Amino acid sequence: QKEVEQNSGPLSVPEGAIASLNCTYSDRGSQSFFWYRQYSGKSPELIMSIYSNGDKEDGRFTAQLNKASQYVSLLIRDSQPSDSATYLCAVRGKRLQAQLWSRKNEAAGNKLTFGGGTRVLVKP
Amino acid sequence: GAVVSQHPSRVICKSGTSVKIECRSLDFQATTMFWYRQFPKKSLMLMATSNEGSKATYEQGVEKDKFLINHASLTLSTLTVTSAHPEDSSFYICSARVDRVDKNIQYFGAGTRLSVL
């Protein structure tokens, strides 16, 4: 089982509709969750971060986190052609007290794990 | 968000050449930086975690002698691809983390597209 899983898509959405992206993760101790958008040939850019259960809204984007079910989702309202991109879900593990971990383990625990990304196509 | 500058954006070189890529955090200090590689239509693959003032932590399967990482200051990390070969052609992306009490956010550089002939 992959640590962070996403449907690769493509997710085809008509302009103006809501795009719904899902992401599941395997590490129950995960603390931080992020959605990045990556245009073809470009590097990822941060869209949303979420740390506690519930919804977090920022403009047309809403992130939803459910730690009990180990999933995080992203809703894009009023989708625009410019939203066409690959959306990467990223999860960071639990940080443990430094004195209990070796440097390698601490680094591993703080590592951001990415899903494979969901490609979204918004059609005019 | 925070700004991470990566240079150069594109490199075309002959096989056997060594290539150095720089990653700078422009408006914050980054104790930890990360180096990723991405092949076409694939997700990001973490190569190594770079810690200021100490040796980098490499992911399994990444040759530390092939990919030299130096994190000399809190704002600069470099990746050197030594004796590059065509199979090293890829998109290399650095990332720097902003460390706050309850939030650790990673920002990415623009990436370096390496083409080895």
Count how many Cα atoms sit within 13 Å of the Cα of residue B74 in the half-sphere of its side chain: 7
For CA atoms B42, B43, B48, B52, the dihedral sign is positive
pLDDT at residue A30 tops 60? yes
Weakest mean pLDDT among A30-34, A92-96, A110-114: A92-96
pLDDT at residue A70 tops 50? yes
CB–CB of A22/A120 below 8 Å? Answer: no
Check CB contact under 8 Å for A43 and B108.
Answer: yes
CB pairs under 8 A between A and B: 56
Weakest mean pLDDT among A5-9, A110-114, B91-95: A110-114
Average pLDDT in the A39-66 region? 95
Give the phi and the psi of residue A30 in degrees, each rounded to 5. -60, 145
Best residue of A112, A113, A114 to probe chain B, by most B CBs closer than 10 Å: A112
pLDDT at residue A103 tops 60? no
Chain B residues whose CB is inside 8 A of the A45 CB are 108
Q: How far apart are CA A4 and CA B105, in angstroms?
A: 18
Measured CA distances, A69 to A21, A48, A50 (Å): 15, 20, 15
Quick one: which of A123, A117, A121, A97 has its CA closest to A109? A97
Chain A CB within 8 Å of residue B93 CB: yes
pLDDT tens-place values along chain B, 117 residues long: 678 999 999 999 999 999 999 999 998 888 889 999 999 888 899 999 988 888 899 999 999 999 999 988 889 999 999 999 999 999 999 999 877 665 678 899 999 999 999
Chain A CB within 8 Å of residue B5 CB: no
CB–CB of B7/B21 below 8 Å? Answer: yes
